[in-house]
């Protein structure tokens, strides 16, 4: 298993090493085919209409209650170069923090599910894949 949270990093001649792990149990029975992914996605999308009908009115109500500065930073009018740079830096730091927390959460969930199966994960090194993860309609190709 290669821990690859961002498949866009390491394209062309720039390769970044990812952590490579090995499990002491076989995970082959948990491989999902492309048809199963399509079926699950359709089932989930049918349930999302309820969420959309709740989120849109809630967003409209909260739009004026939550300060815009919490997400984008201080207003940059009149235009100030340093304020603009700070706002962009603040936004990118917040975005990277969110991505880091999501990847940490996903790894912990995977570790918990692996422990339930009496498995263990051992880091065996670092490296990169010669070809990126490719997903086609019916067949999932990993490398």
Per-residue pLDDT tens digits of the chain, which is 143 residues long: 556 555 555 455 566 777 888 888 888 887 777 777 778 877 777 667 777 788 888 888 887 787 777 766 677 778 888 888 888 888 899 889 998 999 899 889 988 998 998 888 888 888 776 665 555 555 555 44
- Beta strand 134-135 pairing with 121-127: unpaired
pLDDT score at 143:
45
Residues 74-109 as b/e (b if ≥16 CB within 10 A, e otherwise) read: eebeeeeeeeeeebeeeeeeeeeeeeeeeeeeeeee
- The reply to whether the predicted model has a pTM over 0.85 is no
3-state secondary structure of 86: helix
Whole-angstrom Cα distance, residue 125 to residue 131?
18
Q: Residue with structure tokens 């990277």?
A: 96
- On whether the CB atoms of residues 124 and 17 are closer than 8 A, the answer is no
pLDDT score at 142:
47
pLDDT score at 21:
82
pLDDT score at 131:
64
């Amino acid at each position: 298993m290669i821990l690859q949270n961002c498949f866009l990093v390491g394209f062309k001649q720039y390769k970044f090493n990812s952590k490579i792990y090995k499990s002491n149990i076989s995970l082959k029975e948990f491989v999902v085919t492309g048809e199963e992914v399509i079926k699950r996605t359709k089932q989930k999308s049918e349930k999302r209409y309820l969420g959309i009908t709740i989120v849109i009115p809630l967003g409209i109500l909260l739009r004026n209650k939550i300060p815009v500065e919490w997400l984008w930073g201080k207003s940059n009018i009149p235009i100030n170069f340093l304020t603009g740079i700070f706002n962009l830096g603040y936004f990118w730091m917040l975005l990277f923090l969110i991505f880091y927390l999501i990847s940490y959460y996903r790894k912990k969930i995977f570790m918990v599910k692996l422990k339930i199966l009496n498995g263990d994960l051992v880091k065996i090194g670092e490296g990169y894949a010669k070809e990126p993860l490719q997903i086609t309609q019916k067949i999932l190709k990993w490398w």
